């Protein structure tokens, strides 16, 4: 990140799968350091076969340190269920902004 951002910079970036809390923290620090305003966060936390890719500490760091820097956060249904600890049973659940997102200080509209 440093090599690219110091050389040519970036107007926006997209963050995908991060392996652990330490990496989440470093990415958040770099985003703040380089004052990247438009950050798309795709919180990849599970594989297609359902294996967990980011442990609880990593998820906590993601919510606490990286989400507040996000411009757009794009969890899929399984990721939203992991983050909110709530089952999404259909379209009405998808349309209802999770209370947790608002608690995290995220815009939901």
pLDDT digits (tens, 9 = 90+) for 15-40: 999 999 999 999 999 999 999 999 99
Structural domain count, the chain: 1
The answer to whether residue 7 is domain-embedded is yes
Identify the bridge partners of residue 73 per DSSP, sorted by sequence position.
41
pLDDT value at residue 91: 87
| Residue given tokens 């983050």 in the structure block | 83
pLDDT value at residue 14: 97
pTM of the predicted protein model: 0.84
pLDDT under 50: residue ranges of the chain: none
The answer to whether residue 94 is domain-embedded is no
Nearest one of 104, 106, 75 to 88, comparing CA atoms:
75
**DSSP codes joined into one string, 4-44:** HHHHT--SEEEE----SHHHHHHHHHHHHHTT--EEEE---
Question: Containing domain of residue 55, as a range?
Answer: 2-75
């Amino acid at each position: 990140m440093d090599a690219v951002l110091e050389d040519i910079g970036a107007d926006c970036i997209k963050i995908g799968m991060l392996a652990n809390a330490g990496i989440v923290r470093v990415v958040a620090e770099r985003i703040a350091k380089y004052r990247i305003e438009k950050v798309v966060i795709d919180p990849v936390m599970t594989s297609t076969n359902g294996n967990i890719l980011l442990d609880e500490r990593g998820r906590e760091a993601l919510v606490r340190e990286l989400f507040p820097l996000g411009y757009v956060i794009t969890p899929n249904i399984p990721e939203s269920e992991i983050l909110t600890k709530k089952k999404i049973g259909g379209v009405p659940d998808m349309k209802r902004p999770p209370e947790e997102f608002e608690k995290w200080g995220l815009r939901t509209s």
